[in-house]
Amino acid sequence: MTSPRFDANLTTERPTFVTHLDCAYTGERYEADTVHNLSRAGKPLLVRYDLDGVRRALTKEALAGRPQDLWRYRELLPVRRVEDIVSLGEAVTPLVPLPKLAAKLGASELLVKDEGRLPTGSFKARGLVMAVSMAKEFGITHMAMPTNGNAGAALAAYASRAGIRTTVFCPADTPEVNVSEIELQGATVYRVNGLIDDCGKIVGEGKAKVGWFDVSTLKEPYRIEGKKTMGLELAEQLGWELPDVIFYPTGGGTGLIGMWKAFAELEAIGFIGSKRPRMVAVQAAGCAPMVRAWEAGEEHAPRWEDAHTIASGIRVPQAVGDFLILRAVRESGGFAIAVEDAAIQAALDEAAREEGFLLCPEGAATYAAYKQALADGRVGRHERAVLFNCATGLKYPLPPVHRTLDRHQPIDWEGF
């Protein structure tokens, strides 16, 4: 059998199975193929599929013969026509074992899903490629969002490719590389003297006054559909056998919610059984609204005041999908855990020096949380654990190196 062309998933029309959307909180049904933000209840909308139809149309064998990119899962995605796909090459991201760290901790298997290999260097590409493709389908001409950095970069890149205007607002202390790449890739970006939810308020106000489309986390239905491909990929990469536990860096939580949705859809089409991983929401101690709500047994997570952490991607004081995050964590038998910034930095240094793996701060938070959970017994050393590294570590400030060598002076060879 000849191999398919590299772009076969982007050029081959395939059957689509979206039936409707529904409110994640009330269950109220909404029409597909029309523009939506939040439901009438002010809650996220979830895309629903004819899963019996998908089951008949898609086999594991057919999937295995497709190019290794995000669009291989077309039957479980909302984009109807290939002409609306906006792609920058969304490769399936690798699972990278960390054998030295696992051995050091006495653990059997520790894997990292490295999302830094995606376009714009982060997992935000998954959600934004879907949101922008659907915006193109709907004829949207101006999109806006708040960002801690990586989401804004992904929006700018995909929207520029689609010919859609973008306006992005980020906290004033957003890393310089993020602000620069957002602007360079075609968006108009503003630094705001506040946090990401303060930026979100500006986007919300501008929706009525400027007429842009609000593509904030979970305030439109399609970023979650892109993010759920993390779960689809993970299941396929492990031979349709899910891991025991997943540690996920949780700010807005779209990926955690999306993966939980993906697993339900995979079971419905007969690709996996009923086994589920325990979902662990990892947050920084300086911004841990989900941890506080989980520990209190609450359904919603009130705003975290004075949010601060070196892991800027999870510095989200309040999430619109809080109840969905907490629901997935509880249904899976998982937990929410907070780690100190010192532990995040130590985890980043340890993974880099011992495994040669440069985690981003948010990814390092998952390794710090894994170590903490091993120590307190919430995770067994025999369990297969997957950590999510949500962006390349190269997008964040790195420690300076001042060591020099003067080639004109005698070299102290004993010092090497």
**Alpha carbon 167 to chain centroid distance?**
21
**C-alpha–C-alpha distance, residues 197 and 362, integer Å:** 19
- Confidence class for position 119, pLDDT limits 50, 70, 90: very high
Tell whether 333 and 262 lie within a shared domain. Answer: yes
Tell whether 234 and 346 lie within a shared domain. Answer: yes
* End position of a domain, from candidates 181, 214, 247: 214
Tell whether 263 and 301 lie within a shared domain. Answer: yes
Tell whether 163 and 291 lie within a shared domain. Answer: no
Strands (E), 250-375: 278-284, 335-339
Asked if residue 348 is part of any domain, the answer here is yes
Tell whether 113 and 172 lie within a shared domain. Answer: no
> How large is the average pLDDT for residues 82-90?
98
Of 397, 384, 415, whose CA–CA distance to 108 is shortest? 384
The CATH number given to whatever domain includes residue 198 is 3.40.50.1100
Question: pLDDT tens, 37-55?
Answer: 999 999 999 999 999 999 9
Tell whether 301 and 389 lie within a shared domain. Answer: yes
* End position of a domain, from candidates 184, 214, 244: 214
Asked if residue 219 is part of any domain, the answer here is no
Asked if residue 153 is part of any domain, the answer here is yes
Tell whether 29 and 106 lie within a shared domain. Answer: no
| Residue 36 neighbours by CB under 8 Å, 6+ apart | 21, 30, 45, 220, 221
What pLDDT score was predicted for residue 275?
97
Identify the DSSP state of 381: T
| Residue 263 neighbours by CB under 8 Å, 6+ apart | 231, 235, 242, 272, 276
Question: pLDDT tens, 335-357?
Answer: 999 999 999 999 999 999 999 99
**Considering the chain, what percentage of its residues have pLDDT values greater than 70?**
100
**C-alpha–C-alpha distance, residues 295 and 313, integer Å:** 22
Residue 95 parent element (H or E):
strand 95-97
Asked if residue 90 is part of any domain, the answer here is no
Beta bridge partners of 284: 287, 339
| Residue 295 neighbours by CB under 8 Å, 6+ apart | 336
Question: pLDDT tens, 23-35?
Answer: 999 999 999 999 9
> How large is the average pLDDT for residues 258-284?
98
> How large is the average pLDDT for residues 77-97?
98
Report the number of distinct structural domains present in the chain.
Answer: 3
Q: Is the pLDDT assigned to residue 1 strictly greater than 70?
A: no
Averaged confidence pLDDT in the chain: 97
Tell whether 150 and 261 lie within a shared domain. Answer: no
Asked if residue 299 is part of any domain, the answer here is yes
Domain range for 284:
95-117+228-393
Pairing of strands 109-114, 278-284: unpaired
Pairing of strands 213-214, 384-389: unpaired
Asked if residue 339 is part of any domain, the answer here is yes
Tell whether 113 and 128 lie within a shared domain. Answer: no
What are the strands of the beta sheet with 142-146, ordered from one edge? 188-192, 165-171, 142-146, 213-214
Q: Is the pLDDT assigned to residue 367 strictly greater than 70?
A: yes
Q: Is the pTM of this model over 0.85?
A: yes
What pLDDT score was predicted for residue 286?
98
Question: pLDDT tens, 188-241?
Answer: 999 999 999 999 999 999 999 999 999 999 999 999 999 999 999 999 999 999
Tell whether 249 and 365 lie within a shared domain. Answer: yes
List phi, psi (to 5°) of 265.
-70, -40
Of 92, 97, 122, 327, whose CA–CA distance to 230 is shortest? 92
Tell whether 273 and 387 lie within a shared domain. Answer: yes
Asked if residue 253 is part of any domain, the answer here is yes
What pLDDT score was predicted for residue 2?
79
Asked if residue 3 is part of any domain, the answer here is no
Tell whether 244 and 372 lie within a shared domain. Answer: yes
The most distant pair of C-alpha atoms in the chain lies apart, rounded to whole Å, by 78
Q: Which two tokens stand for residue 176?
A: 């310089």
